Structure 1
Amino acid sequence: MSKSVLLSLVALAALGGFARAQTTTGVISGTVVDPSGNLVPAAKVSVTNEATGDIRSTQSTSAGDFIFPSLLPATYTVRVEMPGFQTFRSTGNVLTPNGRLALGDLRLALGTVGETVEVAGQAAQVETQSSENSGLLTRDQFSMVPTKGRDLTNMLRLLPGVQMTGDQDALGGATGFGATMGAVSGTRSADQNLT
């Protein structure tokens, strides 16, 4: 490598540091809190450049903090939205070149109830007269199990409260290599009847 090429590379590297120091972007940051001063995580925070209309958005962290790096110098509107709170809006926030605009705590006011969620359903019937645990497998459930190895004892796995245990033959009570039985609701597998 020639001496002139080496000097050119050194000069470019040195000038690169000066060029980086001439950046004009700034940072807007703050913390989202509720009326009691508690941190509000996952709030949607956006900044809008009032001159151009450009919008950047982020979410507050688990500590309620947000940061918008590399913003061009301008006047910004900051908007914070979170379900259950009124929308926060702050206008006229001036960011200077290389500026750090720390907005501090942005306190959200409690919102009014604007919608009703209605849930309809029925409670499952609970058997109170015996400790019987039963379930029904549909034809669709049975057909979804792979055909290789499909048998009655393996179908028990689809029922709630059933865990398969080893070395117990489900049909007949004989033990053997690889035989399994379902333990229902924590009882011993030998204490159960299958119908």
Structure 2
Amino acid sequence: MSRRVNRIPVVLDTGNIKELSQEDIKMILRAADMCIMKAGRNMLAKILKGSKDKKVLELKLDECPAYGYYHDLKLADIMHYIDWMIDEDYLRIEYEGRLPLLVFSDEGWAIEKETFAQELYQQFCLDVKENNPRVIHKLIKVNRKVILRILDIIEEEGNKEFISCLEAYKKIETKRIGRRIIEVEKTIKDKV
């Protein structure tokens, strides 16, 4: 006989929030990426506030690009924004046992995937300019769909200066991603 799990109830309160800007949506999703299936609304609010909470610092959540984005707001106001994001189906709540954890909706993931890919692409550009492929070592821990989007952006740009970084990256990646890198390199070389 299984025991019934008493889930912690979630009550959403959007306050008087009617709409958020695209920039606000992107930044909340960017911070939420650090919480997906690991934390809930309260931790997300602390990241966006720029909290010095022991758990935030211990988990290195202060390294998130959206850390402190709402530093001038109260936590309660930030919670209204987060609840609006859930209410508008950019984020969802799923339970792990009794704990409510955040997950992306399909729309939320599509926005975050593009935001994160653009962020990493900019780092890639800087690495190419400095001839120092640092970002490729970060990519090992990145979602494959984000990596494929970065490769699409590089292919669209068609900048031949990326080829040396792509060569270095291909050596440390999986065969599947390696095949995509070869396709991107070929497209870039064909444009020249």
TM-score by length of 2: 0.19
* Higher RCO (C-alpha 8 Å, min separation 6): 2
Structure 1 or 2: larger helix share? 2
Normalised TM-score (structure 1): 0.19
- Which one has the bigger strand percentage? 1
